[in-house]
Structure 1
Amino acid sequence: MPQNFERNFLEEVRKLKRKKRKHIAQKIGIILLIALIAIGFIYFWLQSNLFLKIGNMSISTKPLVLIIIGLLIILTVYIINNPSAKLRYQSFLSSLELLKTINYKYFIGFTLLIIALVYQANPFIIINPVNDFVTHLVYKPTPPVLNSPWPWTDHQKIHPIVVNMPSEVETSIKSVAEYIAKQESDPYLRIKALHDYVISRVTYDLEVLKTGIRPPQDAQTVFQTHKAVCEGYANLFMALGQNIGTKVVYIQGKIRQDLAPIELIPKVLRLLKSNYDWTLHAWNAVKVADNWQLVDTTWDDSDSNALGSSYSADYLMPPPQVMSMSHFPSHLNWQLLSIILDQNNFEKQPILTPQFFTENLLLISPTEYQTNVKNAAEILIKTPANYQKRIAAIFTKIKEVDSSIWDLPKDNQEERQQNFNKCQSQQNTQGKIHISCQFPEVGDYQVLVFSVGKNVSPIGQMKFHAL
């Protein structure tokens, strides 16, 4: 009898322990579920990209989150104040009791299997939200409070530290970065020197565009080979900054569709990779004087083979609104704008170059990149006082060509042959320049706008559909 009693007692103790473990596991599961839902809400709240679009109506994530929370509050109040609703709610909860009969190990295993299948099908569905959330928590990208020295009117040449760098210094990324940090104490000029080193030592690898074969783009490979595409430029700049304790972030995103280097890509490769997104791009964000700034060394590399020759710092810490004309980051907070653009509005805005902002110009009309007109395009630009340059524009008709394997050109020269026509430009007494482009026939036209002084600089690009 005592032996049976002891056995039964121990069995009951084991049952209680199993029940307690199961109860704890259920609590942990509920907590994790609530945490997951909370993280999801926070993630969607931090995102401001287009979430839902029906016709002309669009709902961004912040209003959507507020709507869901509001509905949950209304539902809770209704259940509390309505006895019949409360009974239905309790009945619903009792039906959920069946879930307790499911072994939590099977439930966890099934959940992990679903996650694994989703990851296998498209890893970015899981990786991107996690990376975005971690990036926001770690780096907290916010619009800069202090402006950088952009435009670099007083620094239109490669930093002398980079020009005069001894060859024995260029043995490693770390030695280069430390040399620059030691020689330059100004935080902005130090970043400029890192930027200048990348654009003066690295050449864009055009063979990647021609062949579709992409060599390794890690910082060390780029440092040794002096060749890269945007990914490699951004990796090397990030490595240089991180080696001297500067916060540098690698940003993935896209550029405007009409700014993609399609003309550099052989036609046959475009046909073979018809589903490839040629707008993919990479650049950096760097924290200077406790302010995040944006840098694109790839787009500033106009002639990286000759030190001190053609030099550009247009994309070296420009105001965020300048970068947002052409660059659209995957993580939208890296726009560093007070009001974040969704991709739809990003593509709709007229393309304006950094030079447009450098010259303090203001585009009055059109307000969108593509506009329908009857037979002429009208462009109105406001100039600052004592503006000495002339603004001119040309247009060309956009031709849609059906491609086949039989009519592939040997190179891209055939595609670049376009007929350009001049637009009429007139300045009034109020400091506004009126540009008129008369289109000869119905169709789609591209208009390119330039400022003309000692040099001719592109400042804008728009499309018009002549009805």
Structure 2
Amino acid sequence: MGCCTSNAVAIDDQRTPLITPKDKGENVSTVKTIPAQNKPKLSEDNIITTTERRRKPSADRRKTVPTGELKKGAYDLIDAHAINAPKDVKTSLNCLADYLIKGAKSDKEKVRAFFVWIANNIKYDTDAYFSGNYGNTNAESVIKHGKSVCSGYANLFEAFCKGAGIQVQVISGFSKGYGYSPEKPITPNRRTDHAWNAVFLENKWQFVECTWGAGHLSNAGEFQKAFNNFYFLTNPRHFIVDHFPFEHNDEEFSKKWQLLKNPISLDEFNRNIKLSNTALEWDIHPKSHKHGVIEVKGSVEIIIEDVKGHLLDTSFEFYEYPSGKRVEEYGFLRKVSTHEFKITFNPPKTVTYRVELFGSIKESQHKLDQLMTYTIKCTQAANASPYPRHTEQWGFSQRAYEIGFLKSDQFKVQALQQSRNGQLELTLRTTRNIPSMVQLSHAKYDLGKTFTLVTGGKDFLEDKH
């Protein structure tokens, strides 16, 4: 079946709304750093365990809306009608179908009613899935028992559409859902693991995925009910990310039911990174590494493109796989332009790593949504020092703009600075004189006494610590 999982991570509750200052009345704050006079001493306070500061994924999934497909409130009436179906109409397939299409003004609304009812009323049968004994998956049986595996969802949707005189197709194939690993490529002789539907509406075939629209399996293998609009009339370019039609090794079948102008091969499907539906909705894509598994010698820099420039916050998790040992101090995430950010990784050992990327586009969002996951196979360790531990994006924060730093400096002042003589001078423009403090930290050691000087106009603040 392959129910997809959804991960989210908590973010700092101290974030503040974005206020962009005007590029007028500029002040200047200059920061100078002077190297410590004493040799750094190891501090136990800087040793972080694998559980501390960890951004734990949440089982909650945001309600998502496919870009360009579903306008707010477009289906409110038909959705309410389907959700509020009385018990007495569930006595038979025909009776239920007759009820669902009442009030529908088009075939699209009929299809919508079928999708919404199935997603909200049929539970995924995890016992059947894990035992391999799927039982009867015909439409009448699914309604009677209120649960099934993916083929049951697809068969029920097909029966509803046929009863309403709407062309429909059950499609079998491979999915990148529960249990998927990019390190285990799907082969043609493997048994297909999923089923979904295509429906003919408005003179074209379109995808409807009732199983994933109903919810997903958690990492613990439990069904999490979570209605998801993304899988109603999903864009074929998005659908192919984790659905590959396949039947009896028939290449023409696969090409036809991808519904793409330029279909891809099974090999391409295997290699392409699995993007979350959130990343697809927000139009966020890998620019440098489009495959889910990366083999590296030394350092690697991954470039991510934010096409719409909507990302406000980003973060990452970097850990050894499968041990889970966290090594975030060997990663450096920063935004380099309005539409692009980069992550540099310096693997410290020749092992396999996982990198999970997260983001948010709303200031009120308290959890970052998972965007994509890479597997990094390191064949030669990077000869590089770690960075101070910091799992979020380096550089200007949203708070900086509110208090007076110029947003235009966001990309002029690079987040990664390098000193060749032990000293560094950094100049930042502001709209007013801002009392400031500077804190220096080391990736491994307590710096002890450090000296920094912050000046602004006629005023300056000397901070010794």
The normalised TM-score by structure 1 is 0.56
Q: Which residue of 2 aligns with 1:456?
A: 368
5 Å-filtered alignment, 1:66-465, equals 150=69, 154=73, 159-256=79-176, 259-261=177-179, 277=190, 280-302=193-215, 310-330=226-246, 331-332=253-254, 333-399=256-322, 418-422=324-328, 423-452=331-360, 453=362, 454=365, 455-465=367-377
Identity across the alignment (%) = 22
Question: Alignment partner of 1:282: what SS?
Answer: strand
Question: Alignment partner of 1:418: what SS?
Answer: coil
Q: 1:151 to 1:322 in 2, by over 3 A?
A: farther
Q: Which moved more, 1:148-157 or 1:193-202?
A: 148-157
How far the C-alpha of 1:151 sits from its partner, in A, is 5.2
| Higher RCO structure (Cα 8 Å, ≥6 apart) | 2
How far the C-alpha of 1:384 sits from its partner, in A, is 3.8
Q: Which residue of 1 aligns with 2:16?
A: none
In terms of fraction of residues, the more helix-rich structure is: 1
Q: 1:191 to 1:436 in 2, by over 3 A?
A: farther
Q: For the Cα contact (< 8 Å) 2:304–2:340, is it kept in 1?
A: yes
- Separation in structure 2 between the aligned mates of residue 295 and residue 182 of structure 1, nearest angstrom: 21
- Separation in structure 1 between the aligned mates of residue 67 and residue 287 of structure 2, nearest angstrom: 26
- Separation in structure 2 between the aligned mates of residue 365 and residue 153 of structure 1, nearest angstrom: 34
- Separation in structure 1 between the aligned mates of residue 151 and residue 95 of structure 2, nearest angstrom: 22
Q: 1:338 to 1:396 in 2, by over 3 A?
A: same
Q: For the Cα contact (< 8 Å) 1:366–1:379, is it kept in 2?
A: yes
Any idea what the Cα deviations from partners look like across 1:295-335, whole Å, max 9, x if unmatched? 1111121279xxxx842122211110111011110121100
Question: Alignment partner of 1:231: what SS?
Answer: helix
Q: Which residue of 2 aligns with 1:12?
A: none
In terms of fraction of residues, the more strand-rich structure is: 2
Question: Alignment partner of 1:356: what SS?
Answer: helix
Over the residues paired in the alignment, what is the CA RMSD in angstroms?
A: 2.9
Structure 2: unaligned runs, 5 residues or longer:
1-65, 182-188, 218-224, 247-252, 380-465
Considering only CA atoms, is the larger Rg found in Structure 1 or Structure 2? 1
- Separation in structure 1 between the aligned mates of residue 346 and residue 201 of structure 2, nearest angstrom: 47
- Separation in structure 1 between the aligned mates of residue 103 and residue 340 of structure 2, nearest angstrom: 46
Between the two proteins, the alignment pairs up a number of residues equal to 287
Q: For the Cα contact (< 8 Å) 1:260–1:278, is it kept in 2?
A: no
- Separation in structure 1 between the aligned mates of residue 68 and residue 110 of structure 2, nearest angstrom: 12
- Separation in structure 2 between the aligned mates of residue 195 and residue 281 of structure 1, nearest angstrom: 17
What amino acid does structure 1 have at the position aligned with 2:148?
A
Q: 1:377 to 1:175 in 2, by over 3 A?
A: farther
- Separation in structure 2 between the aligned mates of residue 389 and residue 325 of structure 1, nearest angstrom: 25
Question: Alignment partner of 2:233: what SS?
Answer: coil
Question: Alignment partner of 1:428: what SS?
Answer: strand
List, as ranges, runs of 4+ consecutive aligned residues in structure 1 with deviation greater than 4 Å: 151-158, 276-279
How far the C-alpha of 1:339 sits from its partner, in A, is 0.8
